[in-house]
Amino acid sequence: MKDLKKLGLLGEGAYAKVFLVEDPQGIQFALKEYSLNVAKADEQRAYFKAESVIYGKELSNNVVKLYEFWEEENKLCLLFEYCEYGCLKHQLREKGPFNLRKTLKVGICTLNALASLHKENIVHRDVKPNNILQGRKGILKLADLGLAKVDGLPDAKCPHGSVAYISPEQYLNYNNVDFRSDIYSVGATLYHLYTGKEVYSGKDLSDILDSHQNCVIPNIRDLRPDCPLSFNHIIRKMISKNPADRYQSAEEAFTDLSRVLEGISTIHELPSIKKFKEEVNIQENIETIPDIALVEEERNNQIALIVILLSVVIVLCLIFLI
C-alpha cells in the first residue's frame, strides 16, 4: 500500500498513531500504524492479528469498517474508513456538553456496536469518547479494538484502559472481565458527554481508580438539574460498582435508552429500572421526561386548542351580530 499519501495526523495513543491518508483516486481513509518493538514483536503481532480478525466478523454498522491490513518496515498497519467529523472527545471540547437527545443516541449506537461484539464473545475494554467517531450522515462508529479481550490471546501482564472510564473490576482483574465492564464504560462515557465532567476526579490516577471502586455513585442531576429522572437512574445503574447490579447485557441497556428517546414518560415504565436498587437513598418524585418530541407535541396541541377556541368565539360573535 505504498500509493497512499499521508495528509496529516488524526490521533496518537500509547501504542499507535492514526493518519489521514488518500489513495490515487482521492478517496480518504484512516491509517493506523503500530511501531514494532523488537522485544515484544511476537506479542504485538498476536494482538494485531486478533484485531484484524475481529473486524472481519459480522458486526454492527456502528463499528468502524476495516478495509485492509498488512505489515511493512517494522510497522503493523490497519486501513479504516475515515470518519470526517472526528471523535466525540473533540466535539465535547469544542462545543461543550451534549444535549439529552444526542447523548441518548450516542448510548444507543455504542450499545448496538457492543451487542454485536459481545455476540462474538469479544469485550472491547476501552470504550470512551475518544473511541466513538462520527462519520458521514452523522453515523456514530465505535473504534479501536486494540485492547479487546478475544479468545486465544495471551493474558496481559498489567491493566490497560482509560482511567476515567474503566470499571472497578477491569483494574483489579483485567484479564477476566466480561461484557458488563463495557457497559460500565458506556455509562461513564455518557455521564461525561452529558455533564461535561468525568464521573470521578482526583489528584492522581490512583485516587481516581480508588473512586471507581469505593466512592458513592454521583447524581447527574447535581450538575444537570434538567436531567430526566429515568436517564439519571439508567446511568447510575450502568456505573454500579458491582457488575451484578448493572445491566446484564448491552441489549438490555439499549432497550431502556431507546424508550427514553422515544418519549416513555416515567421511570416505572422502564422494565430494567424496576429491579434497580440504588446504593444511596435519594428522595425524588417521579416526573415526566421532558423529551423534545413530547414537548413539541404538547405545544402543537395547545396551539390547536387555542385556534379552535378562537374559531368558536368568532362564530358566536358573528351569530350575535346577525
The crossing angle, in degrees rounded to 10, of helices 250-262 and 100-119 is 150
Q: Would you call 31 helix, strand, or coil by DSSP?
A: strand
Q: Write the pLDDT tens digit of every residue in 261-297.
A: 988 545 555 656 555 443 333 333 323 333 333 434 4
Please give the share of the chain, as a percent, with pLDDT higher than 90.
Answer: 55
Q: Which of 12, 59, 54 is nearest to 32 (CA)?
A: 12
Q: Residue type at 185?
A: S
pLDDT value at residue 293: 37
d(C-alpha 78, C-alpha 66), whole Å: 7
Q: Look up cell 491493566; give the residue.
A: 159
φ and ψ at residue 272, rounded to 5 degrees: -75, -30
> Which candidate in 3, 23, 42, 126 is catalytic?
126
pTM over 0.85: no
Q: Which three cell numbers stand for residue 150?
A: 478475544
Q: Across-strand partners of 132?
A: 142
Q: Is 291 a catalytic residue?
A: no
Q: Which fold has domain 88-292?
A: Transferase(Phosphotransferase); domain 1 (1.10.510)
Longest Cα–Cα distance of the chain, Å, equals: 100
pLDDT at 228 over 50: yes
Taking only Cα atoms into account, the Rg of the chain, rounded to an integer number of angstroms, comes to: 24
Q: Which three cell numbers stand for residue 29?
A: 481513509
Q: Residue type at 61?
A: N
5-81 classified as CATH 3.30.230.10: no
102-112 CB burial, b ≥16 within 10 A, e <16:
bbbbbbbbbbb
